[in-house]
Amino acid sequence: MAILVDKDSRIIVQGITGAEGSFHAEQCLAYGDNVVGGVTPGKGGQTALEGKVPVFDSCAEAREQVGANVSLIFVPPPFAADAIMEAAAAGIELIVCITEGIPVAQMVEVKSFVEQTGSRFIGPNCPGVLTPGAAKVGIMPGFIAKEGRVGVISKSGTLTYEAVDQLVREGLGQSTCVGIGGDPIIGTTMKELLALFEADSETDAIVMIGEIGGSMEIEAAKYAKENLTKPVIGFIAGQTAPPGRRMGHAGAIVSGVDESAAAKKEMMAQCGIVVVESPADIGKTVKRALS
């Protein structure tokens, strides 16, 4: 079953005629064979990926002509906010933005706009969504994952890949892997994804990878305590970061004691989440939780 994307997803790529968009669109098409088009204003009527997919001038046109319901965005930062809102205005159900460097002020406007539509937004500055064996929407390397029943939620792209590798080494596959991004303003939170995985009959356990800064992990932990029946295994990156020091992502900065790695780990443990000290422990810990 999985969440967010599956074999029936009809994906368009905004920015498909650019070098990065073209490269990753080809990878997504090769993985799931469900990229149905691209969007580049002014290039409608052309084709991309060596003639494999049509290019449209707008998301609305792509939705009407090829039934697009997922958009993958590889648009440069100055234009990415408008691209997200264009997709939402066109009624695209799931919008995944890979673009890094969108100004926070623009993201505040984007989040407000998208929340008024029926669209779900993942990102920005994220690796995207992967449902093994079904659909790849973003830059995650599909070959490292395998079909299974463990959901993965992560702020970090590289730690997503590490978690997947650890799970596979233990013989455990994934239902869906979601990289939510580490910017201060993002579209979909950990709490929202926990709810989706809890409702998914083909997910048995959930891995949740957070980092220092912000309160998202704490909110997710409290939600899990009150609402989840499935085991959640958590990890917090940035355990050695000094207060006030940004570590990697724009959102990864400790500005108060409740945002530190130690505070988040303590709250998660209090809420029944099994917290691991190292990403290397994720796979075996999930296996124990399911045994």
Strand partners, 220: none
pLDDT higher than 70, residue 239: no
Q: What is the DSSP letter of 179?
A: E
Q: What is the pLDDT of residue 162?
A: 95
Establish whether domains 11-122 and 145-290 are of one fold: yes
* Domain map (residue ranges) of the chain: 11-122, 145-290
The C-alpha atoms of residue 213 and residue 182 are separated, in whole angstroms, by: 10
The C-alpha atoms of residue 31 and residue 143 are separated, in whole angstroms, by: 9
The residues annotated with a catalytic role in the active site are 249
Q: What is the pLDDT of residue 146?
A: 97
- Cβ atoms within 10 Å of 114's Cβ, excluding its own: 20
Task: Look at 288 and 237; give whichever has higher pLDDT.
Answer: 288
pLDDT higher than 60, residue 135: yes
What's the CATH number of domain 145-290, 3.40.50.920, 3.40.50.1820, 3.40.50.80, 3.40.50.261?
A: 3.40.50.261
Confidence of residue 245 (pLDDT cuts 50, 70, 90): low
**CA of 206: how far to CAs of 148, 176, 229, 249, 278, in Å?**
12, 10, 11, 23, 16
User: Which residues have C-beta within 8 Å of that of residue 19, sequence separation ≥ 6?
Assistant: none
Q: What is the pLDDT of residue 260?
A: 78
Q: What is the pLDDT of residue 257?
A: 46
Q: How confident is the model over 179-198, as pLDDT tens digits?
A: 999 899 999 999 999 999 99
pLDDT higher than 90, residue 258: no
Q: What is the pLDDT of residue 284?
A: 98
Q: What is the pLDDT of residue 229?
A: 98
Q: How confident is the model over 30-46, as pLDDT tens digits?
A: 999 999 999 999 999 99
Mean pLDDT in residue range 89-99? 98
Mean pLDDT in residue range 204-221? 94
11-122 topology per CATH: Rossmann fold (3.40.50)
Confidence of residue 261 (pLDDT cuts 50, 70, 90): confident
User: Which residues have C-beta within 8 Å of that of residue 218, sequence separation ≥ 6?
Assistant: 258, 263, 264, 267, 268
- Cβ atoms within 10 Å of 51's Cβ, excluding its own: 8
Q: What is the pLDDT of residue 212?
A: 86
Residue type, 67: G
Tokens for 72, please give them: 């993958």
pLDDT higher than 50, residue 255: no
Mean pLDDT of the chain, nearest integer: 93
Q: What is the pLDDT of residue 199?
A: 98
pTM beyond cutoff 0.75: yes
Q: What is the pLDDT of residue 214?
A: 85
Tokens for 9, please give them: 């997803």
Cβ burial, residue 199 (10 Å; 0-12/13-18/19+) = exposed
pLDDT higher than 60, residue 274: yes
Q: What is the pLDDT of residue 213?
A: 81
Return the closest-CA partner of residue 172 out of 21, 288, 49.
Answer: 288
Please provide the DSSP assignment of 196-249 as one string: HHHH-TT--EEEEEEESSSSHHHHHHHHHHHH--S-EEEEEE-TTPPTT-B-SS
